Amino acid sequence: MIKALIFDVDETLVYYEGYDGLEWFEKWGKKEIKKLGITLEFETYKKMVKGELPRSWVERLGVDHVEFWKAIDKAKLEYRKWAAERGLIKAFPDVDVLKDFKQMGLKMAAVSNASQECTEFVLELFDLKKYFDIILGKDYRYLDGAKPNPYLIEKALKALGVLPSEALVVGDSASDILAAHRAGVKAVQVMRFGEIEGADYYVKDLNELVQLVRSLVGKDL
């Protein structure tokens, strides 16, 4: 029986108009990295973000990896503030249905690989924070716990007080699906940008998610 929903944030609830990862790195990330006294190429940075390299890999360049990721997140937050001022961060038009899940008595978590500060910033921007019982960004104590690692999903389950069989993870990416399955939770892919293989359920938007959840309430997953 469904008791909780665990939502990804970026590209599931909100999106960044015109965002380009390489452009962000060149304009925002590099200046913070240079302050640490190191040089890093975008492709290597991207591999750490995707989990192809451990986040601690950067220590071979002579910098503490926690300090490195805090510097990256400082640049990410600066970008978000800049983008918000220009109206470039958008909430998907269907996010208002989050209230329907609260009315159904479901517990809800927001879980993101972005920092806690970045995650709360975008949720507050659109007055979405009020819907969530818990909000979890990346954990600096365990940086490799980012999705597709199940760590953050497991943390959310514990905080919500529900079993894996009592929750659904809702996201847009392969890392959301993998993290869910590794935590023993069924995954719903919101097909904002096309279908990704491996999810247990597919919806085209959050309106369809409401219909799906209503059909599953009271049933064993």
**What's this model's pTM, rounded to 2 decimal places?**
0.96
What is the token pair recorded at 203?
């919806």
- The structural domain count of the chain equals 2
Domain that holds residue 127: 4-16+90-216
pLDDT of residue 57: 97
Examine the domain organization and report whether 165 and 182 are in the same domain: yes
Compute the average pLDDT of residues 204-212.
97
Examine the domain organization and report whether 58 and 103 are in the same domain: no
Given a cut of 90, is residue 217 above it in pLDDT? no
For 18-54, b/e burial (b = at least 16 CB within 10 A) is eeeeeebbeebbbebbeebeeebeeeebeebeebeee
Last residue in a domain, options 69, 85, 101: 85
Examine the domain organization and report whether 39 and 138 are in the same domain: no
pLDDT of residue 132: 98
**H or E, element range at 201:** strand 201-203
Given a cut of 80, is residue 171 above it in pLDDT? yes
Examine the domain organization and report whether 68 and 115 are in the same domain: no
Percent of the chain with pLDDT over 70: 100
DSSP secondary structure letters along 90-101: EE-TTGGGHHHH
Examine the domain organization and report whether 34 and 70 are in the same domain: yes
Compute the average pLDDT of residues 79-103.
97
Given a cut of 70, is residue 68 above it in pLDDT? yes
Examine the domain organization and report whether 118 and 210 are in the same domain: yes
Does 204 map to a domain? yes
Does 29 map to a domain? yes
What contacts 166, CB < 8 A, 6 or more positions away? Answer: 1, 2, 3, 4, 221
Does 221 map to a domain? no
Nearest CA-CA partner of 126 in 216, 6, 214, 9: 9
pLDDT of residue 221: 65
**H or E, element range at 187:** strand 186-190
Examine the domain organization and report whether 95 and 53 are in the same domain: no
Does 124 map to a domain? yes
pLDDT digits (tens, 9 = 90+) for 13-60: 999 999 999 999 999 999 999 999 999 999 999 999 988 999 999 999
CB 162 within 8 A of CB 107: yes
Alpha carbon of 107 to those of 141, 183, 219: distances in Å? 26, 18, 17
Given a cut of 70, is residue 86 above it in pLDDT? yes
Examine the domain organization and report whether 185 and 140 are in the same domain: yes
Given a cut of 80, is residue 220 above it in pLDDT? no
Given a cut of 70, is residue 12 above it in pLDDT? yes
pLDDT digits (tens, 9 = 90+) for 101-141: 999 999 999 999 999 999 999 999 999 999 999 999 999 99
Examine the domain organization and report whether 188 and 170 are in the same domain: yes
Q: Who wins on pLDDT, 208 or 50? A: 208
Compute the average pLDDT of residues 170-188.
97
